[in-house]
């Protein structure tokens, strides 16, 4: 490790990171590998330490030994032994109950020792990788132990995982509880989707390219689709999922973050509050459905038995720790509108679900069709050809579909894709998705973290849906087969307006009348 600046960015400030729930999966699968990547890129300060805090009876030596085994399995790429030794000598562990003040005294002593051993200068941040019920109690205990005070230029920050509340009232209450101890500038509400390169690239694509922004409005865009599809079921998370469901788990955080970045007005700068002000404006402009509108703009589903190839997939109600009569949705789709000048009349369709055919998260921008008059005497029956797709996972990139004439004496339309692929054009990333978020917290950049008003604005939109779904049980759960694209009602959400969901992962040219199969053209990319 070298001091100073790395060619890729400013080195983070000296600090101590404390991970609450350090014996859990997130630490070994994401957080420690992310720290290794930051160290490799020389973005961690040499004056750095990590303290794990959890209920499990471990010592520092046992914690180090366990993570040494885990890192070999979960590191995104081969790990340099010297780099791991550097991380290892900075790892410590404190055992304790999250609500026991005596444990926080032990933590305070360990933090002081680490600060002295590694000269972290009194800066610290706390990552709450714990159950949401502990967010407020942990913050309270940290405050009472004097660990959140910021004096003499030293900073103290708290990263809070999702879900941030389970409805509008609980989100407001959690914000109130945290702000009794912390200022808004100390609270970093994390959403790991925003660690994805393509999500961050969305602002660059929109605001750094003169060909994009003039078209980014109701005059040229017909509709927007945002999809977060998973092939897995609830696996061993049935107990949690029974209290959450697809709507709570994905929409007010992940999907609304993607929506706000897609639809927001240009900020005056990339300063954190300038960007988040514009995101908040969009979330406040989303029309809140009236209770009587919920049945026409929101669809819920629950998967039954199905097939994935030759594999038989169980129904949600047959999963571990799930009620045999569960009314919990595993699929949710919404039709939303944004009440502002740019987006008036443009529908935003959101969908998310488990046990769908493909794992994919994407934003699809469907442009308006061209005037038909020029082609009225040709065989071309549909000119809705232009679609921009921002692929977020698993394969990050951007593709643009447009129409071209098929060679020959007859006027026929072929659909062509121009594609940019991160792995192909910039080299494959070994990121966990947490590097940028941890680094930004260390340097005090909150751009990619949610602010209190953004969280509450998101819950405000879906609260009527939660209320109606809670009051009126679903009539026919399960209503889609595992391995399918969800219930028929989700398709009807679009077909009654003459639209359809983008067929993810399929050659969509075959669905276009008088079209030929699409071809793929490469978009070249350079690093400047």
CA dihedral sign of residues 474, 477, 482, 483? negative
The catalytic position among 8, 118, 192, 254 is 254
Buried b (16+ CB within 10 A) or exposed e, 97-136: ebeeeebbeebeebbeebbeebebbbbbbbbbbbebeebb
Distance CA 253, CA 49 (A): 30
Rounded distance, CA 126 to CA 156, Å? 8
| Angle at 239 (CA atoms; ends 234, 243), nearest 5 degrees | 95
Q: 163 preceded by cis ω (within 30°)?
A: yes
Can you tell me whether residue 187 is helix, strand or coil? strand
Q: Among candidates 452, 437, 383, which has minimal Cα distance to 159?
A: 437
d(CA 144, CA 138): 10
Strands 331-337 and 387-393: unpaired
For tokens 């957080």, name the residue: 31
Pairing assessment for the beta strands 298-301 and 303-304 based on DSSP bridges? unpaired
Q: Are 338 and 263 in contact (CB under 8 A)?
A: yes
Hunting for tokens 């859990």 — which residue is that?
24
What are the Cα distances from residue 416, in Å, to 27, 294, 399?
43, 38, 10
How far apart (Å, rounded) are the C-alpha atoms in residues 301 and 284?
27
Helix (H, G, I), strand (E, B) or coil at 519: strand
Scan for tokens 């589903």, then name that residue.
Answer: 301
Pairing of strands 187-189, 347-353: unpaired
3-state secondary structure of 110: helix
Among 448, 437, 428, smallest CA distance to 76 is for 428
User: What DSSP character marks residue 450?
Assistant: B
How many Cα atoms are found within 13 Å in the side-chain-facing hemisphere of 504? 28
Cα(285)–Cα(281) distance, integer angstroms: 6
Has 254 been annotated as catalytic? Answer: yes
Instruction: Give the H or E element holding residue 128.
Output: strand 124-128
Which pairing describes strands 124-128 and 156-160: parallel, antiparallel, or unpaired? parallel
CA-wise closest residue to 159 among 459, 432, 442, 433: 442
Kindly list the catalytic residues. 254
């Amino acid at each position: 490790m070298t001091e100073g600046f790395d060619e890729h960015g400013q080195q983070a400030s000296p600090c101590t990171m404390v991970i609450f729930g350090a014996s859990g999966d997130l630490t070994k699968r994401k957080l420690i590998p992310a720290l290794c990547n930051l160290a490799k890129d020389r973005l961690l300060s040499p004056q750095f330490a990590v303290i794990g805090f959890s209920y499990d009876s471990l010592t520092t030596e046992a914690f180090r030994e366990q993570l040494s085994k885990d890192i070999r399995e979960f590191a995104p790429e081969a790990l340099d032994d010297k780099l791991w030794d550097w991380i290892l000598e900075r790892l410590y562990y404190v055992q304790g109950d999250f609500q026991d003040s005596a444990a926080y005294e032990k933590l305070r002593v360990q933090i002081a020792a680490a600060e002295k051993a590694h000269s972290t200068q009194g800066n610290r941040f706390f990552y709450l990788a714990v159950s949401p019920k502990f967010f407020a109690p942990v913050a309270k205990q940290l405050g009472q132990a004097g660990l959140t005070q910021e004096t003499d230029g030293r900073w103290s920050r708290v990263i809070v995982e999702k879900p941030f509340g389970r409805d509008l009232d609980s989100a407001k209450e959690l914000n109130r509880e945290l702000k009794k101890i912390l200022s808004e500038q100390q609270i970093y509400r994390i959403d790991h989707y925003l660690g994805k390169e393509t999500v961050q690239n969305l602002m660059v694509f929109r605001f750094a390219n003169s060909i994009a922004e003039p078209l980014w409005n109701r005059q040229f865009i017909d509709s927007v689709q945002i999809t977060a599809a998973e092939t897995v079921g609830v696996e061993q998370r049935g107990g949690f999922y029974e209290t959450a469901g697809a709507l709570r788990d994905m929409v007010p955080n992940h999907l609304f973050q993607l929506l706000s970045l897609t639809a927001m007005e240009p900020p005056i700068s990339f300063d954190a509050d300038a960007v988040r002000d514009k995101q908040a404006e969009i979330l406040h402009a989303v029309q809140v459905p009236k209770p009587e509108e919920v049945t026409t703009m929101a669809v819920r589903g629950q998967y039954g038995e199905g097939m994935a190839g030759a594999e038989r997939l169980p129904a949600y109600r047959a999963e571990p720790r799930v009620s045999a009569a569960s009314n919990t949705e595993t699929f949710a789709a919404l039709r939303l509108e944004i009440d502002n000048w740019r987006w008036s009349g443009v529908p935003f369709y959101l969908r998310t679900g488990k046990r769908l055919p493909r794992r994919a998260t994407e934003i699809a921008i469907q442009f308006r069709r061209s005037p038909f008059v020029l082609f009225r005497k040709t065989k071309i029956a549909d000119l809705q050809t232009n679609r921009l797709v921002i692929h977020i996972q698993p394969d990050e990139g951007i593709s643009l579909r447009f129409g071209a004439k098929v060679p020959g004496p007859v006027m026929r339309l072929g659909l062509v894709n121009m594609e940019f692929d991160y792995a192909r054009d910039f080299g494959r990333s070994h990121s966990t998705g947490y590097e940028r978020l941890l680094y930004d917290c260390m340097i005090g950049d909150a751009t990619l973290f949610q602010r209190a008003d953004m969280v509450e604005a998101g819950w405000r939109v879906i609260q009527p849906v939660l209320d109606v779904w809670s009051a009126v049980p679903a009539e026919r759960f399960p209503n889609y087969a595992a391995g399918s694209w969800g219930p028929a009602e989700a398709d009807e959400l679009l077909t009654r307006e003459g639209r359809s969901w983008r067929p993810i992962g399929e050659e969509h040219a075959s669905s276009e009348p008088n079209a030929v199969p699409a071809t793929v053209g490469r978009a070249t990319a350079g690093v400047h």
